[in-house]
């Protein structure tokens, strides 16, 4: 995670430096505030990565002398295919359409669909605990 933290540190520095230069050069407050806020958001993510990097063991990506074989093995579980992201996008579209035309009844339906799609996505691979008698 240290590589990612450094990446966001560089991004944060770029945004803050750009905000200073833009603020002096353009004399336009909206763009300056936008760059400062972008730097702040980047700093939040970088701080999180620094926080997590202290608690994790060192990964091969963090070792400059690592070999390719150091990263071999199981990486994690990735779903082969799921239709829940499509349902989530469609229900989000319904909710956004309801907001755009301010149809409260459709907004209620859209939010219910969003909640069902989120629950389906989260519990897609959930199994019941083994029942012992």
- For the stretch 13-46, pLDDT in tens is 999 999 999 999 999 999 999 999 999 999 999 9
- How far apart CA 32 and CA 40 sit, in angstroms, is 12
pTM for the complete prediction? Answer: 0.57
- For the stretch 74-128, pLDDT in tens is 877 777 788 999 999 999 999 999 999 999 999 999 999 999 999 999 988 877 7
Best CA proximity match to 106, nearest among 118, 116, 96, 117? 96
Residue-range domain boundaries for the chain: 2-64, 84-122
What would the DSSP string read from start to end of 15-76? HHHHHHHHHHHH--HHHHHHHHHHHHHHHHHHHHHHHHHHHSPPPGGG-TT--GGGG-S---
């Amino acid at each position: 995670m240290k590589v990612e933290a450094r990446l966001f540190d560089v991004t944060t520095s770029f945004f803050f430096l750009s905000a200073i230069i833009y603020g002096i050069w353009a004399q336009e407050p909206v763009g300056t505030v936008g760059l400062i806020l972008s730097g702040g958001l980047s700093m939040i993510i970088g701080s999180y990565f620094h926080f997590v990097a202290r608690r994790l063991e060192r990964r091969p990506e963090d070792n400059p002398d690592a070999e390719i074989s150091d990263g071999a093995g199981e990486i994690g579980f990735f779903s082969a295919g799921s239709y829940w992201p499509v349902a989530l996008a469609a229900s989000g579209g319904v909710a956004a359409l309801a907001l755009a035309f301010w149809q409260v009844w459709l907004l209620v339906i859209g939010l219910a669909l969003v909640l069902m799609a989120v629950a389906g996505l989260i519990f897609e691979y959930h199994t019941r605990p083994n029942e012992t008698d």
